[in-house]
Amino acid sequence: MSKSELPDPFEKERLEKGVGKMNDQDDPVVMVLRHKDVRRCAHNWKTFQSGAQPGRIVVPSEVHIRDIRQIPFEVDPPEHKEYRALVEGWFRRPLQAEYEAKLQTQISGLVEEMLSRDSLEVVSEFSLTLQSRALTLLLNIPFEEAQTWISWGIHVFRSDNNPLDADKANILYNYLDEQIEKAAQNPSDNLYSVLLASEFQGRKLTREEIKGTMILTFAGGRDTVINAVTNTIAYFAEHPQSLERLRNEPEILGRAVEELVRYFSPLTHMGRVATEDTQVCEHAIKADSRISLCWASANRDASVFENPNEIMLDRKTNPHVAFGFGTHNCLGAHHARQILKVLIKTLAEKVESITIQKKEDNVEEWGEFNRKVGFENIHVKFNRLS
Ligand code: EMZ
């Protein structure tokens, strides 16, 4: 196994039982592992709801560190649809040529900076910087603001020794209160102002709803994007021939992005709360207990993906669920895809190879499963294409 590989820890349980079990702060989770069941349960929002107590559908549960509902993520239909409609257009802006050009300028600049160095740590110096700078485009606010978010570190709810750190979460919450207030005083054309002007069911959005939407925007796309970017660098470091292939066959870029996202599955799973007694794969699920939709497992399901543990850059049929599935599919997916597309294009244009100097895996523990999701750190050198 070469080092950038992310093994699939779910295969045996997926084949034998279809579900796995884990405890999480005394609120157990039945992990749904097969592609078809994951999609079926995601589709069935009446039985498997998102609108439970705020924080409870996230694994690990965030009920002890927040009581603000993230919107539209923790709301069920029909309200979900109306909230989502308020932001859907805004989150499609990454598809515009002008947005892509700005992203290109940011990413080219960052790659150039890295090319001039003998060593860099990808997670903290490259991926976090890239993610934070790109977020200024998504929010439509000045580039300089990225520096504040970079200073918060990788995860907004986690610190080094504490996977659920309420003090850390408060940094974000206080910051958002300030920014919302600022936008209320001085309306402009950023996301805060757009939300302040938005109406839900004939009334203005409340400050709490705006904050819930902003928390999702900050938290949902942070470590996921950072992992995807870091894994992309690690993959091309170990497969320089793949970078060369993309240089020669730019037409497969779109497929390559989907395939990398399938393979990396940056978000391992997302929970739901059962609204009634039911079952999944003949496993009883009690009302008010939790399941999780394990995107990472579904994306390695051999009944759907040929050679699921291989990265086939031009994979043709690729119904992956790395961005979720159904009603709640990822709002930030256009932005995330553009980031990866522009990043890979830029690497192919400028970088000959990437040398790995040292690295440490980031392994998540989910009950009986240990899943490598990326790297804690990975030190590399970018070598320029001449
Ligand atoms: C939540 C979640 C959303 C959660 C799509 O995922 O991402 C997690 O990283 C956050 O901790 O609060 O936003």
- The predicted-structure confidence for 279-313, as pLDDT tens digits, reads as follows 999 999 999 999 999 999 999 999 999 999 999 99
Closest residue to atom 13 of ligand 1, CA basis? 220
d(CA 49, CA 273): 5
CB-CB contact of 295 with 8 (8 Å): no
Average pLDDT over residues 39-60: 97
Closest CA to 337 of 229, 220, 236, 245: 229
State residue 3's pLDDT score: 60
Closest CA to 264 of 238, 293, 229, 236: 229
The CB of 74 under 6 Å from ligand 1? The reply is no
d(CA 121, CA 357): 10
Cα–ligand 1 centroid distance for 147 (angstroms): 21
d(CA 25, CA 298): 25
CB atoms within 10 A of CB 12: 13
State residue 150's pLDDT score: 96
Average pLDDT over residues 362-379: 96
d(CA 67, CA 158): 16
For ligand 1, pick from 73, 74, 168 the residue to mutate: most ligand atoms within 8 Å of CB. Answer: 73
* Per-position DSSP letters for 261-280, written without gaps between them: HHHH-SS--EEEEESSSEEE
Average pLDDT over residues 155-169: 82
Cα–ligand 1 centroid distance for 295 (angstroms): 14
Residue 362, pLDDT > 50, answer yes
State residue 176's pLDDT score: 97
CA dihedral 71, 74, 76, 80 (to 10 degrees): 10
Question: Which pLDDT band holds residue 155 (cuts at 50, 70, 90)?
Answer: confident
Atom of ligand 1 nearest to the CA of 324: 5
The CB of 220 under 6 Å from ligand 1? The reply is yes
Residue 1, pLDDT > 50, answer no
The CB of 62 under 6 Å from ligand 1? The reply is yes
The CB of 70 under 6 Å from ligand 1? The reply is yes
Share of the chain above pLDDT 70, in %: 99
Fill in the DSSP letter of residue 33. Answer: -
The pTM of this model reads: 0.97
Average pLDDT over residues 226-251: 97
pLDDT tens, position by position, 52-103: 999 999 999 999 998 999 999 999 999 999 999 999 999 999 999 999 999 9
Cα–ligand 1 centroid distance for 216 (angstroms): 6
Judged by average pLDDT, the poorest of 1-5, 24-28, 117-121, 350-354 is 1-5
The CB of 373 under 6 Å from ligand 1? The reply is no
Cα–ligand 1 centroid distance for 219 (angstroms): 5
Q: Let me know if 35 is exposed, middle or buried by CB neighbors in 10 A (0-12, 13-18, 19+).
A: buried
Cα–ligand 1 centroid distance for 116 (angstroms): 34
State residue 159's pLDDT score: 78
Residue 2, pLDDT > 60, answer no
The CB of 219 under 6 Å from ligand 1? The reply is yes
d(CA 162, CA 111): 32
Atom of ligand 1 nearest to the CA of 58: 4
Average pLDDT over residues 318-327: 97
Residue 156, pLDDT > 90, answer no
Closest residue to atom 6 of ligand 1, CA basis? 220
Helix (H) or strand (E) holding 241: helix 240-248
Average pLDDT over residues 28-35: 98
Cα–ligand 1 centroid distance for 352 (angstroms): 35
Atom of ligand 1 nearest to the CA of 66: 12
Cα–ligand 1 centroid distance for 222 (angstroms): 8
Closest residue to atom 11 of ligand 1, CA basis? 219
For ligand 1, pick from 66, 159, 172, 216 the residue to mutate: most ligand atoms within 8 Å of CB. Answer: 216
The CB of 369 under 6 Å from ligand 1? The reply is no
Residue 157, pLDDT > 70, answer yes
Q: Which two tokens stand for residue 12?
A: 């045996």
pLDDT tens, position by position, 208-223: 999 999 999 999 999 9
Cα–ligand 1 centroid distance for 227 (angstroms): 14
The CB of 157 under 6 Å from ligand 1? The reply is yes
Average pLDDT over residues 264-290: 98
